[in-house]
Amino acid sequence: PSYLLAYGLFLLSFYLFWQWDRYRRFKIFFVLSLVMGTLAGIKIYAAAILFGGFVITLIFKIWKDKFFAWWWITPFVLVAPVLLSMKGKEFNLLRFNPGWLLDKMIQDQDRLFLPDMTLKQEHYLQTGNFVRAGLLRVQQLGIYLLGNLNTRILACGLLLRRFKVQKDLTLLFLLSAAILGISVPIFYSQSRAPYDSIQFSHYGWLATSVLSVIFLSNMVRHFSRRIRYVLFGFILIVSIPTNLVVLQGQLRGGTFFINKFELQGLEFLKSNTEREALVLNDLSEDKESTLYVPAFSDRRSFLSAPSLAEQTGIDTAERIKQVKDFFAYTVDTPHENLIHKKEFLKQAHIEYVYLSQA
């Protein structure tokens, strides 16, 4: 539901901007500002792309008209309370990491997995053949863009066609958001959970979809009815199989199996502990990705998914260290450290420690 709501508010923002650019009424602009501010509290990725495109468009408008109105900062005023209400200050999670997404595309087996291209790239970089390494990177970028754009490549027609952004700032707004959404994950990754930064691209592809419709609706006016049918048929033939494969994958989903003895232990916690009891579990990959400990025990967890918490701006570094220190146990662990672990459980009000074979 949060994704659908974010997509809806994201598209609504462009519509409201178009209405404001057409009628120049403050009421419309205020509603636009309210929607943009609200979006930041629902999906910060969408809001970041939207505000980025808005800033670019606003700068262009100020440069073109040589005029600035104070109420144009309303979106930034309304989004400030939303950002300040988020816990923590860890919003600087992005780090400059150009090409990481393209590397993952050819290296990971659940992606394209092109080992020959990976070996070539490593060889070129090690031997200092940066020209061929650069050409290989351009090839990877082309594969990534063509594979994801699909029929949305029609949006590129707006770049080739001579349209005047002076008369329609909404096109510039859409185009800026599309370019930002597509380029940010290519050049930046999050310090933890790098794949989460791909969420920026969702809104870039969505903006290109709108641009494709705009370009197509303008072009078909010059075609005969027969050519229109052929063109629409081609788009459907190309689009439907791709979307069916994606839908099938979403419906199938991933599978994860839990040992029946673990389920018995989680059921024990659920049935024999107070509802407000706090449980400490380790941060193994399965526990972090599925959250099955708090899900099946129906009890609060001291820390289960740091990456999800950090997306909301919560600093989890201290708790991660506390969890790792607690579970860092060997037969040679000094007695003083064991006392420290006991004090940690007492101070954190942790009543149960969940241990599993994993």
pLDDT of 250: 59
List of the chain residues with pLDDT < 70: 1, 86-93, 110, 155, 157-167, 192-193, 241-243, 245-255, 310-313, 329-333, 335, 357-358
Which pLDDT score is estimated for 165? Answer: 47
Nearest one of 309, 315, 285, 317 to 88, comparing CA atoms: 315
What whole-number distance in Å separates Cα of residue 257 and Cα of residue 115? 30
Question: Quick check: 200 and 48 in contact, CB under 8 A?
Answer: yes
Range 263-270, long-range pairs (CB < 8 A, 24+ positions)? 263/296, 265/354, 265/356, 266/292, 266/293, 266/296, 266/297, 266/354, 267/296, 269/297, 269/298, 269/299, 269/352, 269/354, 270/296, 270/297, 270/298, 270/299
What are the Cα distances from residue 150, in Å, to 10, 145, 201, 209?
21, 8, 14, 10
Strand 278-281 to strand 300-301: parallel, antiparallel, or no bridges (unpaired)? parallel
Please report, to the nearest 10 degrees, the dihedral formed by the alpha carbons of residues 62, 66, 69, 70 taken in order: 80
Looking up tokens 């998914």, which residue turns up? 305
Which residue is listed with tokens 């509802």? 275
pLDDT at 37: 92
Residue pair 353/279 in contact (Cβ under 8 Å)? The answer is: yes
CA angle 141, 13, 88 (to 5 degrees): 75
Look at residue 304 in the predicted model and tell me its pLDDT: 85
304, HSE (Cβ side, Cα atoms, 13 Å): 19
Residues 285, 304: Cα–Cα separation, whole Å = 10
Which one, of 206, 198, 148, 211, lies nearest residue 45 by Cα? 198
Contact 117, 142 (CB under 8 A): no
**Is the Cα torsion angle 99, 10, 92, 70 positive or negative in sign?**
positive
The structure tokens listed for 55 are: 């800033």
Cα(153)–Cα(145) distance, integer angstroms: 9
Residue 344 contacts by C-beta under 8 Å, 6 or more apart in sequence?
322, 325, 326, 350
Helix (H) or strand (E) holding 300: strand 300-301
What is the helix, strand, coil percentage profile of the chain, to 5? 70, 5, 25
Two tokens at 10? Answer: 């994201």
Predicted local confidence at residue 86, as pLDDT: 66
The pLDDT assigned to 135 comes to 93
Distance CA 9, CA 181 (A): 16
Run of H or E residues at 200: helix 199-219
